[in-house]
Structure 1
Amino acid sequence: MESQNVSTVTEFQLLGFQNLIEWQTYLFAIFLFIYFLTVTGNIVIIVVVSQDQRLHSPMYTFLKHLSFLEIWYTSTIVPLLLANLFSKGQSISFSACMAQLYFFVFFGATECFLLALMAYDRYLAICSPLHYSFLMSPEVCNKLVAISWLMGVGTGFLPSLMISKLDFCGSNQINHFFCDLPPLMQLSCSRIYITEMIIFILSLAVLCICFFLTLVSYVFIVSSILRIPSTSCRKKTFSTCGSHLAVVTIYYGTMISMYVHPNAHLSPEINKIISVFYTVVTPLLNPVIYSLRNKDFKDAVRKSMRRNFGIYGVKVKGALFIR
């Protein structure tokens, strides 16, 4: 029996946005600016929520974990994207590619679980205010957060393991800006039907179920809002929930279009555009929508700034006086 000659791939070449050579400098500046805002904004949320006692509630606990996750989620993708744009192409070892794939799936799945929990938390607060403190106690909140992280860890393990077991022969060029599932499966010379179906089922379970639970929660929230007698309160609550739902829809919509479509492949350029939304844009939008449109959080930010700048001013005056 004649053995098949399969060469072992030790590294991949990420092509990134090589079809936009003349725009790469502008893209580098734009993505670097967004990355800076994303990391800075999420760090501010973590610090403010941790310091202000008024924000030690389940809603802000979920928000703090979401911000922590967004920092690592976007840092898994964007630094390599920036290096790719700066050097007009970037190589990545096989093991590093599999590690990036694992953390991408891990953080992405965890975000889905956290967004669903945040929607459920708002549903309890608005639709069952009398039972909220019991149903969403700090102990319950911490357990739900821990379960989300643990489920994310497990979700990331299976796809990365199955992709790492595939054979890669011939070209090692990935027509993408990171090690994503569809381009890696397209590059493999193995039979990928079983791998593709398992990843499809896992994506369907995580993305669609979380999105459905989030959507159902907001349907009940909206129905409760409609019963509020005050027009101004209705408009304010609608505005906040509408913003939340818009970001959630962008995130889930782009993810579902990428991963819940067995035996159908989008063009590489469409894949890249869609991927930019859930790897670069939504990590910035989530903290903006969930915090800056919140009055309590904005008051906490102002209080923190007054306290820090006030202390700083006293120190300066004291130093000048001593001199």
Structure 2
Amino acid sequence: MRRREFITLLGGAAAWPLPARAQRPDQLRRVGVLMGLAEDDPDSKARLGAFRQGLEKLGWSEGRNIHLEVRFALPADEQRAQMLAKELLAVSPDVVVAQTTALTAAFRRESRNVPIVFIAVGDPIGAGFIANLARPGSNLTGLTLYDGSVAGKWLEMLKEIDPRVTRAAFIINPKTSSFPLLARETETMAQSLAIELTLSTIENAGDIARVIESFASLPNGGLAFPPNATTTANRDLVVALAARYRLPAVYAWREFVTAGGLLSYGTNFVELFRQAAPYVDRILRGSLPAELPVQTPTRYEMVLNLKTAKALDLNVPAGLLAAVDEVIE
């Protein structure tokens, strides 16, 4: 159940510069979209629906003045992502949209000229996409997934929902561009909470299973899963292992909680896609990506699976329950 709306992201459209060159909105324009989910994933439909709704509100109607070329690739499948990026650029789009760092990088390797709007990139500066948030200075702009401080919040929530936790495994692929930033923030919070932190690096499903099994051999443990392509591609495995070893776990995305995970704290992807529409609109009307400020979330949504909490014999604190945006029962 929803308890508050996802608030407007920082640096809204009002701060954007005027179009650099005039464009006729009634001309048929092509937009390439590379999704970071499988085509049959229900979340793909919801996110694309929000993107289309955002465009329609700005005067863009499919079949009349805009055509969307949509492809689907899991971020961990680099070969497929690169192939589809080439395929989308081959249709001469006016702008392309990429979800996640890996898919944005695939477009970036292919073109330094076609405007690229990214969605849910963790650290666009660290990834080399832009010069700074206020003035990207390249053919890329868009919306980030989080700021670094959110990493500490995952540990804080883990301790709040299960005060018995004195050990935590922070499980992430070290190739994730924001890994250094997230690791620093997590280590700082772990010290303040008197939690023994283990930075567990993984690159495949076998690594995930080995790390969790080993960590579960000692008591009072909990898991934190920051955003990365490896755990996303193995979402069901991650959730199943946490349940098998009865480990409380906090995730960055609600999709893990809808799959049976305990608790998530992160950005609402549907809203991110809706917020991407004004970027595409401004670019199609003549603005340069280099001059459109990158937006960073200032508020995140919290999702709790109450059934999973009960299965772990957890008494959810009243304060935490009151702060939750959505409860899955």
Q: How does the TM-score come out when normalised to structure 2?
A: 0.22
| Higher fraction of helix | 1
Q: How does the TM-score come out when normalised to structure 1?
A: 0.22
Larger Rg: 1
| Higher fraction of strand | 2
